[in-house]
């Protein structure tokens, strides 16, 4: 986030949850990525008084009617586990032919400013789910997803810069960056 937002808001300092006084994070119970991202950004602003950015993201698999979607992080049940989520997804798609393994990642980024400004943007990265996990970079479903814009490698096999250039999160952050910069200069 720091790397991408700095392009559009020079001098911005992004601080994570570990750099602010602890607060109870809201339960992500909204049925949409937009709802969950806005819920988290509003909670961050209310707890800290600082302009807040939050995202919600996940993978939407066409053969699974768009699931896991907003349930991506919890797809295999508690406790959260990327490895179990990937194993479950691959098992659910084991009999699905290659041409029907299409999917896309979604990232919705919400920004809330103390002056009442709110912005919500959405980025997507289209591709397909591969048959076995590959790569060690990234997190979540990166090891089982091959982007249309980077055929032959999973997003876990891309460099951080190459992934930022095509990813759903990179697209959303580049779109919201100028809005954040304008609000901070306000």
Question: pLDDT tens across 15-68, in order?
Answer: 999 999 999 999 999 999 999 999 999 999 999 999 999 999 999 999 999 999
Phi then psi dihedrals of residue 57, to 5 deg: -150, 165
Q: What kind of architecture, by CATH, is found in domain 2-185?
A: Alpha-Beta Complex (3.90)
Per residue in 14-29, pLDDT tens?
Answer: 899 999 999 999 999 9
Residues marked active site are found at 56
Q: Which of 12-26, 117-131, 147-161 has the lowest mean pLDDT?
A: 12-26
Q: Is 142 annotated among the ligand-binding residues?
A: yes
Q: Give the burial class of 136: count Cβ atoms within 10 A of its Cβ; 0-12 exposed, 13-18 middle, 19 or more buried.
A: exposed
- What is the model's pTM? 0.93
140 belongs to an annotated ligand binding site: yes
Q: What SS3 state is found at 118?
A: strand
Per the annotation, does 126 bind a ligand?
no
CA nearest neighbour of 107 among 159, 58, 65: 58
The reported pLDDT for the residue numbered 3 is 78
Pull the structure tokens for residue 33.
């990525």
Element (H, E) at 122: strand 118-129
């Amino acid at each position: 986030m720091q790397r991408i937002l700095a392009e559009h808001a020079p001098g911005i300092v992004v601080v994570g949850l570990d750099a602010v006084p602890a607060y109870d994070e809201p339960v992500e119970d909204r049925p949409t990525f937009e709802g969950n991202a806005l819920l988290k950004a509003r909670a961050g602003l209310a707890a800290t008084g600082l302009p807040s950015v939050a995202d919600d993201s996940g993978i939407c698999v066409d053969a699974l009617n768009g699931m896991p979607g907003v349930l991506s992080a919890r797809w295999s049940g508690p406790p959260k586990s990327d490895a179990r989520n990937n194993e479950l997804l691959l098992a659910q798609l084991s009999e699905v032919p290659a041409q029907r393994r299409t999917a896309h990642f979604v990232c919705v980024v919400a920004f809330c400013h103390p002056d009442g400004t709110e912005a919500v943007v959405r980025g997507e990265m289209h591709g397909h789910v591969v048959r076995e996990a590959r790569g060690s970079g990234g997190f979540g479903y990166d090891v089982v997803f091959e982007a249309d814009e980077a055929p032959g490698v999973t997003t876990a096999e891309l460099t951080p810069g190459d992934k930022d250039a095509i990813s759903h999160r990179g697209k959303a952050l580049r779109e919201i960056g100028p809005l954040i910069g304008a609000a901070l200069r306000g």
